[in-house]
Amino acid sequence: MPFAVERLKINYKTLEEFKKFREYGLQELSMLEDLQANIIEDDADSPFYGIYDGDALVARMSLYLIDAKYDRYFDPPQDFYELMKLEVLPAYRGRGLGRMLVEHAKSLGKPIKTNARLGSAPFWEKLGFVPVKYDPERDRGENPYVWLPDGVRLAPTKPRGEGRKPNA
């Protein structure tokens, strides 16, 4: 059976499926808290996407639509997706499931921002993501990478010190 990306329902069955990821992933990858915070049975606007092998969830990500008024990455400013918590169970790694999830996000046609974890930059770069110049005010310790659909550019970065109040 071929793998396919699907939007996950927000319900207690999905919550149980996420528990197995916590065992294999880092604490920061756990979506349990996100799911519990959004617990509305079968919410059509779920930010969670996954891939099943039969009845078992084997890969997942969260994809949040961010309003243009918060965009500090793209030119012109626009709505974009923030892709977070991409994880594939160890037994399923190397089969292209992470790529499938990212390609699904790209198919939605909006720019995407993600934060590359240590050692993951080559994965994101293979999928067409580029690192952005670090801005401590904007990025706050994150390591942002972005994907730009046609017609979208990176927003210009502010010269150092611009927008800050001088010391009195």
Q: Give the CATH number for residue 109.
A: 3.40.630.30
Say if 160 falls within a structural domain: no
| Average confidence (pLDDT) over 65-88 | 94
Say if 16 falls within a structural domain: yes
Say if 161 falls within a structural domain: no
* pLDDT score, position 46: 79
The bridge status of strand 144-147 relative to strand 112-115 is antiparallel
Total domains in the fold of the chain: 1
Say if 135 falls within a structural domain: yes
* pLDDT score, position 79: 97
Say if 165 falls within a structural domain: no
Q: What is the pLDDT of residues 16-39, one digit of tens each?
A: 777 777 544 444 345 566 666 665
Entry pTM: 0.79
Say if 168 falls within a structural domain: no
More confident residue, 10 or 152: 152
CA distance 42 to 33: 17
Task: Look at the alpha carbons of 4, 123, 45, 24 in this order and tell me if their dihedral is positive or negative.
Answer: positive
The whole-chain average pLDDT of the chain stands at 83
CA distance 5 to 92: 14
| Average confidence (pLDDT) over 133-138 | 84
* pLDDT score, position 43: 52
pLDDT of residue 107 exceeding 50 = yes
CA distance 62 to 34: 9
| Average confidence (pLDDT) over 118-143 | 89
* pLDDT score, position 23: 47
Domain that holds residue 126: 5-154
